[in-house]
Amino acid sequence: MKKFYLILAAAAAMSLNAQAQTLGTVEVGNYNNPTEIYNASYFDIAPTNFYLAHTGAQLLYTVDELADMQDKKDVEINRISFKFRNDDCFEDINREVMIYMEAIDATEFAVNDQGVKQFFTFDNLVYNGSESIAMLDLYGEDVELDFELAEPFAMQAGKTLLVTIVFDAFDDENCSYGSDAAPFYTSGIRKKAMVYTDNYESFLQYAQGNDFPDATAMLGCGTSAELPVTLFDYTYGGGNTAVQEVKAAVEDGVFYNLMGQKMNADNLPAGIYIHNGKKVMVK
């Protein structure tokens, strides 16, 4: 077996793999092991309560909450998940869900001259689907609401992520039992969420009316809600699998093919390989 070392670096040999996407996740709050649930009126539960027929919530995820995304390139969010505890709800819950995402500069909800907090305008729909949750089957359990976006959302470094999430029951049907409870787990981060609740008018209808963007108690709005525990799945660029494979080759001294696969050094077919950080031709 003859080896001919070429002068080209291994990184150049594998440059076609340099733009590989890498998967990442961000937890807001202790998503995987939450302990605190909402202990307040259903006016203050984000992203939704299941008792009223129509709810809407706006959630502000600032740079601090999404810090793990900030130093990465080409970040695209592709999934968002929430978690609640089914303490006392045993009806099937059917909702149409719409999620909107925007990258904004604001880090707080604005307040007008009368001291009324303001919702943000929104129009970038990233999810629209129907959800049916069999609460009786999930009685006494932690339950995840998991939404895969129709199109990845391109996040911008240094911006706040505004998430608007709308839940609408069919035919204005609310829960029929006042004792039903399925509170969401909370991150403990206060004043980064606002909610709208109603049994007859959707948040989307309200957003098109003359009262918008005012959030008032008369409209069933909670203005100082906590962010729910949230999990974001995302991809990002700049991850260079070619460099990672070259480092591995330098460290362990074995042979890799140009796809980055480790080869048996005692039985190498003729071809070009990566060995100790260099391109090697075997004849």
Instruction: Give per-residue pLDDT as tens, 9-59.
Output: 334 444 444 456 799 999 999 999 999 998 777 788 999 988 889 999 999
pLDDT grade for 238, boundaries at 50, 70 and 90: low
pLDDT at 56: 96
Q: Which residues is 221 bridged to in the sheet?
A: 196
pLDDT (tens digit, 9 = 90+) per residue, 260-282?
Answer: 667 777 777 777 767 776 667 67
Q: Which residues is 231 bridged to in the sheet?
A: 27, 81
pLDDT at 251: 46
Residue 86: pLDDT over 70: yes
Distances (CA, A) of 181 to 27, 42, 50, 135, 204: 24, 9, 8, 10, 25
Q: Are 227 and 59 in contact (CB under 8 A)?
A: yes
Average pLDDT over residues 169-190: 77
Produce one character per residue of 236-265: b if its CB has 16 or more CB atoms within 10 Å, e if not: beebbebeebbeebeeeeebbebebeebee
pLDDT at 97: 97
pLDDT grade for 244, boundaries at 50, 70 and 90: very low
Structure tokens, 198:
């109603």
Q: Are 277 and 14 in contact (CB under 8 A)?
A: no
Assign residue 244 a region: left if phi > 0, alpha if psi is -120 to 50, beta otherwise?
alpha
Residue 177: pLDDT over 60: no
Domain edges within the chain: 3-18+240-282, 22-237
pLDDT grade for 121, boundaries at 50, 70 and 90: very high
In percent, the amount of the chain with pLDDT more than 90 equals 57
Residue 102: pLDDT over 70: yes
